[in-house]
Amino acid sequence: MAEQHTPRSLIVSLYGAYGRERPGPLPVAELIRLLAVLGVDAPSVRSSVSRLKRRGLLVPERTDDDAAGYALSDDARQLLDDGDRRIYAHHSPLLSEGWVLAVFSVPEAERHKRHLLRSRLGRLGFGSAAPGVWIAPARLYEEARHTLRRLQLDPYVELFRGEHLGFAATAEAVARWWDLGAIAKEHEEFLDLHEPRLREWEARGELPPMEAYRDYLPALDSWRRLPYIDPGLPAELLPQGWPGGRSAEVFARLHALLRDAGAAFVQA
């Protein structure tokens, strides 16, 4: 199965992995060079940068040598900082941590915002408990609050923390709130692509910087979607043989092995 990466997503992953370490903006020429290694042509890079600029995630800045470049906006830095807590987390979820509930009501005159709210909460990893009621593990509260405020959706939403008291067993309810089969399939597809690559790298005695970068950034780009699709539910609520822990371990080992080696290529 071939892996699909959009230029826009790869640019976000590049800034997330390496762009925040730089004191200034990334030059456009540098973005083009780094994405070319992954098979992205220059017009696609420029077009994607323009879209990210329109979304308020990248801001144009001149580099020290007066070249055109782009830096992360404050909103983008917040998004990436929130994402780091999911992408690089080594957290074993506990049922005792409880849940966060998002309860929303949108006036009929603004009903288009209902779809935006549902879409955004779903992308944050919330499951649908009932119409207008969405649920997620409690540790996602801060990120949900940041996101809803950034999108100016907070006037329509109330957030609560709590525990599930029934009537159905929590494991049964969780299977209704999330499509666990679809989430498991995403983990399995990640493993099919990246577990063999990990084994190849662990068998090698060297880490050529360009090759490390070429394999690490697509792995990061694939992985960073998964902690949003999968909210990180306690093990006792998941089916036997759940592949999420294995895929997290594969990414963690790829990250430890390749990330810094790839940085040498980015900084060259």
What pLDDT does 19 receive?
87
What are 99-112's pLDDT values in tens digits? 999 998 888 878 78
Tokens of 33: 């060079």
Burial label, 173 (beta-carbon count in 10 A; 0-12, 13-18, 19+): middle
- Side chain identity at residue 109, one-letter code: A
> Judging by DSSP bridges, how do beta strands 58-62 and 68-72 pair with one another?
antiparallel
What are 31-57's pLDDT values in tens digits? 999 999 999 999 999 999 999 999 999
What pLDDT does 2 receive?
47
Tokens of 185: 């399939």
Do the beta carbons of residue 117 and residue 108 sit within 8 Å? no
pLDDT surpasses 60 at 124 = yes
What pLDDT does 267 receive?
87
Cα distances (Å, whole numbers) of residue 190 to 142, 163, 218, 228, 237: 27, 32, 11, 14, 22
Which of 17-31, 94-108, 145-159, 173-187 ranks highest by mean pLDDT?
173-187
CA distance 38 to 132: 41
What are the helix (H) ranges across the chain?
7-17, 28-36, 42-54, 74-87, 112-123, 141-150, 170-177, 180-203, 209-223, 226-229, 244-267
Cα distances (Å, whole numbers) of residue 73 to 20, 56, 67, 233, 267: 11, 7, 19, 32, 22
* Averaged pLDDT score across all residues of the chain: 90
Band (pLDDT 50/70/90 cuts) for residue 3 is low
Tokens of 189: 């597809």
What does pTM read for this prediction?
0.85
| Residue 12 CA neighbour count, 13 Å, CB half | 26
